[in-house]
Structure 1
Amino acid sequence: MNAYITSIATANPKFKIKQQDVLDFMIKAHRLEGADADKLRVLYRATGILSRYSVIEDYTSSLVHDFFPDNDRLEPFPTTQDRLGLFQQEAIGLSVEAAKKAIGNVKANQITHLITVSCTGMYAPGIDIELVDRLGLNSHVERTGINFMGCYAAFNALKVADAICTANSNACVLIVCVELCSIHFQKEAHEDYMLANALFGDGAAAVLMSGRPGKGVNLKTTSFFNELFRNGHEHMAWKIGDFGFEMRLSAYVPDVIESGIKQLTQRLVNKSGVDKFDYFAVHPGGKKILQVIEKELSISKRENQAAHDILAAYGNMSSPTILFVLKRILDQLKAADNGKNLLGLAFGPGLTLESMLLTIEVH
């Protein structure tokens, strides 16, 4: 039996922020001047990001302070409790929006399993139960939570859904990934924090998977392979602090990915027997990451354009981002693409590298 992605949908908060506005906010928040401010400007120009989305209006203008205190030092700085309160308030709306679009005409009582994914907030009863109520799912729908795994977590959700659907052709699995990265802004002028602040935004994505293909274009989950590269353990971390979740993101992450991505892809090829890929869905963790992957796998920027487009328009939203890329590709596929193969890649704390082979089936 097989598993099929039959639908992907996305959602973003109402505040669309130009990268220049985020830069202006960060220079002020980090209290940078002269050469230090210029260094941050160079970093922001190098990201390849034009805009991002946030549930916090403060980033759009220095004149507006809705969440952070209205003073130059942003004191008292919001606590973890403050930030998770905002997560509980805002994440469910985005989750519902993405889920409703993904479900489409499928009846709510046909959904047998619900998988929720997040690393930027948690509470209980959580988003899974709120989704059951707001979407009208069966009270006995089987629920799984995937938490605190970071940017590659959607791959784990897809693998869980794949196992469910291949075991039961009648299964219908709804996956919902939601991340509010911007609520965890850290003002300390630490290089890792400033890099994370330059990249991350907010968003949600939902996927519908089934044991049977749907009408139109489907993505069959053909194979998965993941690997841990322990030499990158200290370069990416996500910890809970007193003032939000603290992202440690080193500029050396692309170097670790560069050293392992070819080996990872070859192992997927060995496992699946497929060595030709027609489409590429790469998690846009940053512009340099995309560039080193293109170099190592000998693919062009044009072949990887979906990742560049999502990075420019949304930044890195952690777990939903790869689903934004997949949707961009899925929306462009036609009947002539039947039988073609898609390579998906993502990475996160560990340092974890994930890969998957999807086969396009048109019905």
Structure 2
Amino acid sequence: MRSFITAIGTANPAHGFPQLKIAEFMSDAVSMTEEERQRLFTLYRATGIKHRYSVLPDFGTAFEDSDFFKPGEKAAMPSVAERMTLYRKEALPLSIAAIENCLDQLKSFSKDKITHLITVSCTGMYAPGLDLDIVQSLGLPHSVNRTCVNFMGCYAAFSALKVSDAICKSDKNAVVLMVCVELCTIHYQKSMNWDHILSNAIFGDGAAAVVIQGDKPKGVALSPELFHCDLLPEGRKDMAWSIADFGFEMILSSYVPSMIKGGIKELTSKLLSKLSYNVDEIDYFAIHPGGKKILEVIKDELEIKKVKCQQSFDVLAEYGNMSSPSILFVLKRIMHDLQNDFSSKRILSFAFGPGLTMESMVLEVVTSGFAKTLEGDKELINIGAV
């Protein structure tokens, strides 16, 4: 039994801003000196990000004109309650947009086929929650099985994919709808703390939806072959996510790329050895675009040609780090690039988060039009006949 990712949909808020425009907003927010302002603009240029999206229409305007992040002392910043009110208002329509983009890719697909719903988010929560709102908005049966993956950070999509994979392997008739939505920008911190400055510089808002099925698909699909997770406990304090009085606070140390550099070869070796693959046999590398240095460190350490991980650099440039949906934006681009390619290919994917958690998986590209023997199967399966 195997599971198949048959469609990935994405969505972003209507408000998009150039990276340097956001830098102006951030420098005004804390009244930076000219020297501090120049350092900030140097940081923003170095991120490799050109553009980010926010549910906040004034995220890239002058700080004194902001309706949400009002000027003044820290006490004037929005409370957690105010931020959660905004999350509840904006998370559902963004999720629905991603779901519609996903389902539009599946011809003759009926929502009645959905047996399971998995929601993923670390930037907001409420109950009755987003899962129930999606059920009602889509008109799904009230009996649909619901699972929520909350507060796990940037690698959370991997956790949800593992659950989806297990469901589909246990029931070939299962159809899982997985939705990741993050409104990172509502947690802006008005602070000169370097961790906050760095977080403010890279995160954006977005949503992604995925359909995972237990039945063999037509067209291009991605089939997980193996997952592997590891921890770098020494990085526990360098990547963290906590709820404070004035929003959720991200700790993202500049040491994170160095720690990933020290662990990525071992992580890759442990995963690929279980499948008897080597790095040269991987066609695409879907790396969570957590930051430019992270992407470059992995590319250099594994000696990957940039063309094999270009989608990760492109997603970072166009959207920034959207936390959990980001890796799905990358996988969607790879699936799009494979539409006219019917050869057998494999994808190695990574994501990182609090802990310091290092997630990885190998995906096999399954397409119509060729026959191959699946690992562990004795019979020849003609994918083109499905």
Alpha-carbon distance between aligned partners in 2 of 1:272 and 1:53, rounded to the nearest angstrom:
39
Matched, 1:362 2:367: yes
SS of structure 2 residue aligned to 1:87: helix
Mapping of residues 317-328 of structure 1, within 5 Å: 317-328=322-333
Alpha-carbon distance between aligned partners in 2 of 1:338 and 1:245, rounded to the nearest angstrom:
45
- Aligned twin of 1:295: 300
Matched, 1:259 2:262: yes
SS of structure 2 residue aligned to 1:302: helix
1:183 shift after superposition: 0.1
Matched, 1:40 2:45: no
Matched, 1:153 2:149: no
- Aligned twin of 2:96: 96
1:211 shift after superposition: 0.5
Mapping of residues 1-363 of structure 1, within 5 Å: 1-62=1-62, 64-69=65-70, 71=71, 73=73, 76-104=76-104, 105-275=108-278, 276-363=281-368
- Aligned twin of 2:372: none
Alpha-carbon distance between aligned partners in 1 of 2:43 and 2:341, rounded to the nearest angstrom:
41
Alpha-carbon distance between aligned partners in 2 of 1:75 and 1:259, rounded to the nearest angstrom:
40
Q: Which stretch of the first structure deviates more once superposed, 297-306 or 158-167?
A: 297-306
Q: Is the 8 A contact 1:286 1:311 kept in 2?
A: yes
Q: Which stretch of the first structure deviates more once superposed, 54-63 or 129-138?
A: 54-63
Alpha-carbon distance between aligned partners in 1 of 2:216 and 2:149, rounded to the nearest angstrom:
25
Alpha-carbon distance between aligned partners in 2 of 1:100 and 1:335, rounded to the nearest angstrom:
23
Structure 1 stretches lacking a partner, 5+ long: none
Give the letter aligned to residue 66 of structure 1.
Answer: D
Alpha-carbon distance between aligned partners in 2 of 1:274 and 1:320, rounded to the nearest angstrom:
27
1:188 shift after superposition: 1.2
Cα 1:335/1:213, change in 2 over 3 Å: farther
Alpha-carbon distance between aligned partners in 1 of 2:296 and 2:73, rounded to the nearest angstrom:
37
Alpha-carbon distance between aligned partners in 1 of 2:349 and 2:153, rounded to the nearest angstrom:
16
Alpha-carbon distance between aligned partners in 2 of 1:159 and 1:289, rounded to the nearest angstrom:
24
Fraction of identical pairs, as percent: 51
Alpha-carbon distance between aligned partners in 2 of 1:293 and 1:219, rounded to the nearest angstrom:
22
Q: Is the 8 A contact 2:121 2:324 kept in 1?
A: yes
Structure 2 stretches lacking a partner, 5+ long: 369-386
Q: Is the 8 A contact 1:279 1:343 kept in 2?
A: yes
1:75 shift after superposition: 5.8
- Report the TM-score when normalising by structure 1: 0.97
Q: Is the 8 A contact 2:11 2:101 kept in 1?
A: no
- Report the TM-score when normalising by structure 2: 0.92
SS of structure 1 residue aligned to 2:365: strand
Alpha-carbon distance between aligned partners in 2 of 1:34 and 1:159, rounded to the nearest angstrom:
48
1:34 shift after superposition: 2.5
Q: Which stretch of the first structure deviates more once superposed, 29-38 or 324-333?
A: 29-38
Alpha-carbon distance between aligned partners in 2 of 1:66 and 1:125, rounded to the nearest angstrom:
28
> What CA RMSD, in Å, does the superposition of the two structures yield over aligned residues?
1.2
Give the letter aligned to residue 248 of structure 2.
Answer: F
- The C-alpha deviation readout for 1:260-286, integer Å capped at 9, x for no partner, is 011001111112222210111000100
- The C-alpha deviation readout for 1:40-70, integer Å capped at 9, x for no partner, is 111111000000000011222217423222x
Q: Which stretch of the first structure deviates more once superposed, 270-279 or 250-259?
A: 270-279
SS of structure 2 residue aligned to 1:359: strand
SS of structure 1 residue aligned to 2:318: helix
SS of structure 1 residue aligned to 2:341: helix
Give the letter aligned to residue 347 of structure 1.
Answer: F
Q: Is the 8 A contact 1:95 1:204 kept in 2?
A: yes
Count of residue correspondences: 362
Alpha-carbon distance between aligned partners in 1 of 2:154 and 2:85, rounded to the nearest angstrom:
22
